[in-house]
Each structure stands twice: as structure tokens, then as C-alpha cells.
Amino acid sequence: MAHTKAKILIHMVFATHERKPVIVGDFKPDLHAYMAGAVRGMGVFLHALNGVEDHCHLVFDLPPKLALADFANQLKSGASRWARSNGHRQFGWQRGYGAFSMNQSSLDRAVQYVLNQEQHHRKQSFRDELAEFLRVHEMEADPEFIDGAYTPDPAA
């Protein structure tokens, strides 16, 4: 892909399993350090990573050779395995993720938004944050994404 040029800026967010507030204390910087290393290991340029007790945000530049779904799956499954092998036996992520494209002129604002998650969530709930992302990006909400409640389809 020597002649390929791409700038695929993504703001991604995903929650802990059942939105449990488990990313706390010394676990938080260790988890984020692991995740940052995993992102770099996939050849992805990470602009920012942060979050609060029940979710993480990342802003990154996705290379064209890597599918977004593969990136999310590798990052989340690897972080879960790492956490479990480091004493957090019940750790896991909620199904799915939110991924929102952005342009270069929005990058600095998105990075600051991610870096200031603790302050942001003193004023706005995670649920309201997700609803706002969907509204801004003109996407439909669904209960699992907004509320974190997965209900299997009995017809499936």
C-alpha cells in the first residue's frame, strides 16, 4: 500500500461489563498503560486514552489495513485477558462499542475531551454522554448501547 494515503480519525468509547465501576485505584493507570501498548502494537497512532470507573475513551488514527471491528475486538479481548491474569478475575467489557469519525479540525478538542473525563463526568452521566454522541452523529439509540442492558432476542 505504498501509494495509499488515509487519515481515519476515530473517537471510540466502550464500557465495562454491566457498567460496573471497576476501573479504580492503581488498576486504572495499569490498564490504560496496557491498552496504550496494545494499540501501538497494532500499528495504530493513539492520540488520547482515558476514562472513568465504568468506561474508556480513545482517540486514534486507524491505519487503512486494520478493520475497526478487528481493532476493537483485539484491544478489548487483550485488555480483559491481561486484567484477569493480573488479579482482576471478574473484569470484562460490555458487548460492542461506539466509534465516531471526526475530522482533523476536531482532533484537539476530542483529545482534551478524553483527557478531561473525570471533570466531564462530574456534570454528565455516561448514559447522557452516549445519548449526546448519538444525537450529534445522527444515529439511532438502542437500549443496549444507551443503558448497557443486553437482552438476547428469544426468536434468535
Its pTM stands at 0.88
Q: Is residue 128 part of a domain?
A: yes
- Quote the number of domains for the chain: 1
Across 3-15, b (16+ Cβ under 10 Å) vs e yields eeeeeebbbbbbb
Confidence of residue 151 (pLDDT cuts 50, 70, 90): low
- What are the angstrom distances between the C-alpha of 131 and each of 22, 47, 126, 137, 148? 22, 24, 9, 10, 12
pLDDT digit string, tens, across residues 31-80: 999 999 999 999 999 999 999 999 999 999 999 999 999 999 999 999 99
CATH number at residue 95: 3.30.70.1290
Owning domain of residue 63: 9-147
* pLDDT reading at 1 higher than 70: no
pLDDT digit string, tens, across residues 101-130: 999 999 999 999 999 998 988 898 888 888
Confidence of residue 142 (pLDDT cuts 50, 70, 90): confident
Task: Report which of 137, 1, 156 is spatially closest to residue 65, judged by C-alpha positions.
Answer: 1
Q: Is residue 65 part of a domain?
A: yes
Q: Is residue 4 part of a domain?
A: no
* pLDDT reading at 3 higher than 90: no
